[in-house]
Amino acid sequence: MPAGSLARTRRSADNRAMREIVFDTETTGFKFSEGDRLVEIGCVELVNRVETGRTFHAYYCPQRDMPAEAFAVHGLSTAFLSDKPLFASGVAELLDFLGDAPLIAHNAGFDFGFLNGELGACGFPPICHKTRMVDTLQMARGRHPGAKHTLDALCSRYGIDRSHRVLHGALLDAQLLAQVYVELMGGRQIGLGLLSGSIVADTGPVVAAAPRKARVPRVFAATEGELAAHAAFMKGIPDALWGSADGH
């Protein structure tokens, strides 16, 4: 993961809320430069590594046939996509949702390649991968060397339910990846300044807890009667290994 992207994923010095976008794409193939096109994008908004509930999802008509190999992965047919809008018609809404947040994807170079390819075809500048791209595949390889790093494998590793994932789907995969990303970053706690951010839940005024009064230590000494009863019991044990009850 580029150093610039890592820096942007950390909370800023002035404790403003940290916004990130986890996204995934589905395409007609592997290379935009060879005529393949983006047909679906799904985005999930995180603020301070918590899903806000805001998402962006769209299908796009690729203006070409869907190869059988790609259809087997995501199930998006030529017929289904034929009446969907062109990427160019919804690009402004997509860019507005992305804003200037870091963009997190699994094997992010692939998704950035198609996203920037479509943007370039519409006359928009590319999104800088050096400052905004966060690749969870590279993160997983660094954290779990030698293990499987597919989205399914990472969901299994972190106990994330993917039972509803039959085919690849951009929004569903982005939602699963958002949970994986949080785990890769160490879990949901990102600092102790929980009250300084701008999205702290409104649960009423914070009231300081009253200081707790120290209790007097309890005394657990045996009484004279208990000592006498113990001595009598000991005298009744024949041939005790520890000697007679009086200790001699």
Annotated binding-site members for a divalent metal cation: 24, 26, 173
Separation in Å, CA 184 to CA 35, 104, 137, 228? 34, 12, 10, 64
The answer to whether position 245 is within a domain reads: no
The answer to whether 138 and 157 have CB atoms below 8 angstroms apart is no
Whether 57 sits among the annotated catalytic residues: the reply is: no
The answer to whether position 236 is within a domain reads: no
- The residue segments making up the domain with residue 26 are 3-184
The answer to whether position 51 is within a domain reads: yes
Query: How many domains would you assign to the chain?
Result: 1
The answer to whether 22 and 151 have CB atoms below 8 angstroms apart is no
The answer to whether position 121 is within a domain reads: yes
The model scores a pTM over 0.75: no
CATH of the domain at 113: 3.30.420.10
Which of the 8 DSSP states describes residue 33?
A: G
Of residues 230 and 136, more confidently modeled: 136
The answer to whether position 117 is within a domain reads: yes
Which of the 8 DSSP states describes residue 34?
A: G
For residues 189 and 203, give the distance between their C-alpha atoms in angstroms, rounded to a whole number.
Answer: 19
In 145-247, which ranges are continuous DSSP H helix? 151-157, 170-184, 224-235
Instruction: Say which of 144, 168, 230, 248 is annotated catalytic.
Output: 168
pLDDT digits (tens, 9 = 90+) for 70-100: 999 999 999 999 999 999 999 999 999 999 9
Max distance between CA atoms of the chain, in angstroms, equals: 102
Q: What are phi and psi of 90, to 5 degrees?
A: -120, 10
Annotated binding-site members for substrate: 24, 26, 69, 74, 173
Burial class of residue 53 in the structure, from the number of CB atoms within 10 Å of its CB (0-12 exposed, 13-18 middle, 19+ buried) = exposed
pLDDT digits (tens, 9 = 90+) for 7-58: 444 444 334 789 999 999 999 999 999 999 999 999 999 999 999 999 999 9
The answer to whether position 195 is within a domain reads: no
In 20-86, which ranges are continuous DSSP H helix? 68-74, 78-81
pLDDT digits (tens, 9 = 90+) for 121-141: 999 999 999 999 999 999 999
Give residues with Cβ within 8 angstroms of 130, minimum separation 6: 2, 4, 5
The radius of gyration of the chain's CA atoms, rounded to the nearest angstrom, is 30
For residues 98 and 112, give the distance between their C-alpha atoms in angstroms, rounded to a whole number.
Answer: 13
The answer to whether position 98 is within a domain reads: yes
**What single letter denotes the amino acid at residue 226?**
E
Handedness of CA 179, 184, 189, 192 (dihedral sign): negative
Structure tokens at 102: 């870091």
The answer to whether position 168 is within a domain reads: yes
Output the pLDDT for position 220: 74
Of residues 106 and 16, more confidently modeled: 106
Annotated binding-site members: 24, 26, 69, 74, 173
